[in-house]
């Protein structure tokens, strides 16, 4: 039984996901991952519905959703910029790249532009140390970044 029947909720899609995993608490990560794909983030309502179905308190589901950086509990921009904060990128000037992005978009890490286009985040190592400093925008990777280059890249979106 779903706790709420708010018609704005993606209930049919979510029900299909929950049915697939047969209410198993062990499948929480998979359920969260697929549920996030419905509209890009995990709202309180969605977390509550998952909690009800899986039989885990919402506080624990929220704990899992906020532990993993790829889960979102608030709406994000259409493009998520993930800038590497690991040591090799740091040594190769990631701070300057970050400063350029912050200046171009007027947001700080963890924030979203008012038009809902970009979200800026840190990420741990992307495995692109050979072309450090590096970042990703959604699924695309970018390396050998400089302040100028990152401005061009952002403006091309």
Partner 1 sequence: MEMVKVTVDGQTVEVPNGSTILAAAKKAGIKIPTLCYHEDFNVKAMCRICVVEVVGARTLQAACSQPVSDGMVIITNSPAVRQARKINLELLLSNHPQDCLNCVRNQRCELQALADQLGVQQQRFHTKTRPESPKDESTAALVRDPDKCILCRRCVEVCHEVQSVGAIAPGNRGINTQILPAGGVDLNDVACVQCGQCSLVCPVAAIYEQDHTERVWAALADPEKHVVVQTAPAIRVSIGEEFGMEPGQVTTGQLVAALRRLGFDRVFDTDFTADLTIIEEGHEFIDRLTNGGVLPMITSCSPGWIKFIEHFYPEYLDHLSTCKSPQQMFGALAKTYYAEKAGIDPKNIYVVSIMPCTAKKFECGRPEMSASGYPDVDAVLTTRELGKMLRQAGIVFSELPEEEYDDPFGITTGAGVIFGASGGVMEAALRTVYEVVTKETLPSVDFNAVRGIEGIKEAEVDLKGTKVKVAVANGLGNARKLMDLIKEGKADYQFIEIMCCPGGCIGGGGQPIPTTNEIRKKRIEAIYKADAGLPLRKSHENPAVKTLYEEYLGKPLGEKSHQLLHTHYTKRGKYPEKSVG
Closest CA to 122 of 105, 104, 134: 134
Q: Binding to partner 1 by residue 114, rule CB under 8 A?
A: no
Per CB under 8 A, which region of 14-22, 40-48, 83-91, 111-119 contacts partner 1? 40-48
Strands 118-123 and 79-84: parallel
CB of 34 to partner 1, least distance (A): 18
Q: Is 41 exposed, middle or buried (0-12, 13-18, 19+ CB in 10 A)?
A: middle
User: Smallest distance from the beta carbon of 65 to partner 1, in angstroms?
Assistant: 8
Find the binder of partner 1 among 20, 23, 44, 108 (CB under 8 A): 44
C-alpha distances (whole Å) from 60 to each of 4, 24, 118, 137 are 19, 14, 29, 30
C-beta closer to partner 1: residue 15 or 39: 39
How many residues sit close enough to partner 1 to count as binding (CB under 8 A)?
Answer: 23
Q: Which of 43, 86, 119, 123 binds partner 1 (CB under 8 A)?
A: 43
Minimal distance, residue 6 CB to partner 1, in Å: 9
Residues 48-87 within binding reach of partner 1 (CB under 8 A): 48, 51, 57-63, 66-69, 73, 75
Q: Tell whether residue 96 is a contact of partner 1 (CB under 8 A).
A: no
Report helix, strand or coil for 154.
Answer: helix
Q: Which is nearest to 36 in space by CA: 60, 64, 55, 59? A: 64
Q: Does 3 bind partner 1 (CB under 8 A)?
A: yes
Nearest of 66, 61, 69, 52 to residue 18 by alpha carbon:
52
State the DSSP string of 39-69.
HSS--HHHHHHHHHHHT--HHHHHHHHHHST
111 binds partner 1, rule: CB under 8 A: no
Which residues sit at the interface with partner 1, rule CB under 8 A? Answer: 3-4, 41, 43-48, 51, 57-63, 66-69, 73, 75
């Amino acid at each position: 039984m779903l706790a709420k029947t708010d018609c704005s909720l993606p209930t049919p899609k979510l029900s299909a996901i929950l049915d697939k995993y047969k209410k198993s608490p062990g499948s929480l990560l998979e359920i969260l991952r697929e549920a996030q794909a419905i509209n890009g983030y995990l709202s309180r309502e969605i977390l509550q519905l998952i909690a009800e179905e899986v039989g885990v308190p919402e506080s624990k589901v929220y704990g899992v959703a906020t532990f993993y950086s790829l889960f979102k509990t608030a709406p994000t921009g259409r493009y998520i910029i993930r800038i590497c904060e690991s040591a090799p990128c740091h040594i190769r000037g990631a701070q300057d790249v970050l400063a350029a992005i912050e200046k171009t978009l007027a947001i700080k890490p963890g924030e979203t532009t008012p038009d809902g286009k970009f979200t800026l985040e840190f990420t741990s190592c992307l495995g692109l140390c050979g072309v450090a400093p590096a970042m990703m925008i959604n699924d695309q990777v970018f390396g050998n970044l400089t302040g100028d280059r990152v401005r061009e890249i952002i403006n091309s979106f």
